[in-house]
Amino acid sequence: MFKGSIVAIVTPFKDDNVDEKALRKLIEFHIKNGTSAIVPCGTTGESATLNYEEHERVVEICIEQAKGRIPVIAGTGSNSTQEAIVLTKHAAKAGASASLQVSPYYNKPTQSGLYEHFKAVAESVDIPLILYNIASRTGVNIEPETIAKLAHDCKNIVAVKEASGNLEQMSRIKALCGNNFGLLSGDDALTLPVLSIGGAGIISVVANIAPRDVANLVSEFQKGNIAQAQAIHYRLLPLVKAMFIETNPIPVKTAMGLMRLCESGLRLPMSKILPENEKKLKIALKDYGLLK
């Protein structure tokens, strides 16, 4: 159901408030450039520093602006199961196509706790859920066996965004869950390798600034044009590296400011990029042709 280049869209701020006008323009930018779906309020969208009202409004804006042209997969996960249920119910009521559910962070639940958490959220809504596995940020890995049990027991848990960086683990997920369960890369540098083991696409950071190329990488691979997909992959790699020169989303929002896609403002504790890293970022953008 969910495949291709799915953007983990930034939340643009102006004077430390959500910049609704800029967000709507970004959605049009993605639709024009072949992005398959929008994920608001994820890590890249600085969800951790959005209050409830802002979080819900960002989701609503994306749904309103997309107008059904592409799916909106609302980031509504939390380290509180009840909070995740509240946010997910709101997204479902607002018309989201699906929800992205990050594993509970800081709490470090057991595999049993993870299972019960995701099951409770799944049972609270009818929309599809995509699990989000990123142990480097949450402190806990969702094991393939846990994902398989959730996929079997909860019919609306339909995919996983895998940001473990572990292709062996991702292969085990595909082997245990079967072809009807979606595997989405959570790392831009691993989009092509994940596609090669049966992945359906990418939830991407770099698509914020190069949406057409990320979309083309996936579509060329899916059409069997492996050499073309490889060429795009290797061309993108230096840009991808630059997007993680500091903690995401610092580099990508800085890049978007330089490209005048939106203002580059971040919310603390995300802080302005270091001058030496901004120089490296500018070089990568110029080399790629995104900045003069």
| 117 domain-assigned | yes
Dist CA 93 CA 153 (whole Å): 24
User: Which range of residues forms the domain containing residue 171?
Assistant: 4-223
E-assigned strands of the chain?
4-8, 13-14, 17-18, 37-39, 73-75, 98-102, 129-133, 157-162, 182-185, 201-204
Residue 235 has pLDDT above 90, yes or no: yes
Average pLDDT, integer, range 232-247? 98
Whether residue 88 lies inside any domain: the answer is: yes
Q: What is the model's pLDDT at position 222?
A: 97
Please check whether residue 277 lies inside any domain of the structure.
Answer: no
The 10s digit of each residue's pLDDT in 193-209 is 999 999 999 999 999 99
Q: Answer yes or no: 132 catalytic.
A: yes
Residue 264 lies in a domain: no
What pLDDT, on a 0 to 100 scale, did the predictor assign at position 1? 73
Whole-angstrom distance, CA of residue 27 vs CA of residue 189: 23
Cα separation, 197 vs 174, in Å, equals 8
User: How many other CB atoms are there within 10 angstroms of residue 22's CB atom?
Assistant: 18
Distance CA 283, CA 292 (A): 10
Question: What's the confidence (pLDDT) of residue 174?
Answer: 97
Closest CA to 76 of 60, 59, 62, 61: 59
pLDDT at 123: 98
Residue 130 counted as domain residue: yes
pLDDT given at position 41: 98
Provide the CATH number for the domain around residue 35: 3.20.20.70
Q: Output phi, psi for 133, to 5 deg.
A: -105, 110
Residue 97: inside a domain, yes or no?
A: yes
CA–CA dist 103, 141 (Å, integer): 8
Average pLDDT estimate for 87-97: 98
Dist. CA 248–CA 105, nearest whole Å: 17
Q: How far apart are CA 202 and CA 162, in angstroms?
A: 9
pLDDT, the chain, mean: 97
pLDDT digits (tens, 9 = 90+) for 1-44: 799 999 999 999 999 999 999 999 999 999 999 999 999 999 99
Q: Which of 3, 149, 161, 253 is catalytic?
A: 161
- Write out the two tokens for 250: 């610092």
- Mean pLDDT calculated for residue range 272-285: 98
Catalytic residue, from 3, 132, 149, 253: name it: 132
Q: What's the pLDDT score for residue 218?
A: 98
pLDDT digits (tens, 9 = 90+) for 146-180: 999 999 999 999 999 999 999 999 999 999 999 99
Q: Is the pLDDT of residue 105 over 90?
A: yes
Distance CA 176, CA 275 (A): 46
Indicate the number of domains in the chain.
1
Question: Which pLDDT value is given to residue 132?
Answer: 98
Residue 134 lies in a domain: yes
What percent of the chain stands above pLDDT 70?
100
- What pTM was estimated for this model as a whole? 0.96
Question: Within a 13 Å sphere around the CA of 85, how many CA atoms are in the beta-carbon half?
Answer: 12
Percent of residues, the chain, with pLDDT higher than 90? 99
The first and second tokens of residue 288, run together, are 């790629």
Structure tokens given for 102: 């990050």
Q: Is residue 234 part of a domain?
A: no
Cα separation, 187 vs 203, in Å, equals 8
